[in-house]
């Protein structure tokens, strides 16, 4: 079974621009979560989608948004990029909704904002 695929692996953007990251979950997994990982802050939860609906949201500004498609693939968008948005963005899929369902992470998208 193919794992979670995130594209692109690396991105360099300029402050003020917007960016879209993509995540393809493991086949059959309906829940997709997004995390921001930085050296100082660890893993910070962004949001979770299940059946095309956002079910949980972390404490991030509205510049961070996401969506899930009918095939469970997900995208996250960050608008008006700031230098502090530089991070590794991880996507995780799981078979069902909820924290107790094991998360399967992709290898992330490394975003650098200059």
Partner 1 sequence: QQQVKQSPQSLIVQKGGISIINCAYENTAFDYFPWYQQFPGKGPALLIAIRPDVSEKKEGRFTISFNKSAKQFSLHIMDSQPGDSATYFCAASFDSNYQLIWGAGTKLIIKP
Give the residues lining the site for partner 1 (CB under 8 A).
Answer: 4, 33, 42-43, 45, 48, 55-56, 58, 90, 92, 97-108
Q: How far is the CB of 10 from partner 1 (least distance, A)?
A: 11
Q: DSSP string spanning 13-79?
A: E-TT--EEEEEEPPTT--EEEEEEEETTTEEEEEEEEETTEEEEE-S--TTEEEEE-TTS-EEEEE-
Q: How far is the CB of 35 from partner 1 (least distance, A)?
A: 9
Closest CB to partner 1 among 85 and 89? Answer: 89
Q: How far is the CB of 43 from partner 1 (least distance, A)?
A: 5
Closest CB to partner 1 among 18 and 52? Answer: 52
The two tokens of residue 35 are: 């995390």
């Amino acid at each position: 079974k193919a794992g979670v695929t995130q594209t692109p692996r690396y991105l360099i953007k300029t402050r003020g621009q917007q960016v879209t990251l993509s995540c393809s979950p493991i086949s059959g997994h309906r829940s997709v979560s997004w995390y921001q990982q930085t050296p100082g802050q660890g893993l910070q939860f962004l949001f979770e989608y299940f059946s095309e609906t956002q079910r949980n949201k972390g404490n991030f500004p509205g510049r961070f948004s996401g969506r899930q498609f009918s095939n469970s693939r997900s995208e996250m968008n960050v608008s008006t990029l700031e230098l502090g948005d530089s991070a590794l963005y991880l996507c995780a899929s799981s078979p069902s909704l909820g924290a107790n369902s094991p998360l399967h992470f992709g290898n992330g998208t490394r975003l650098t904002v200059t």
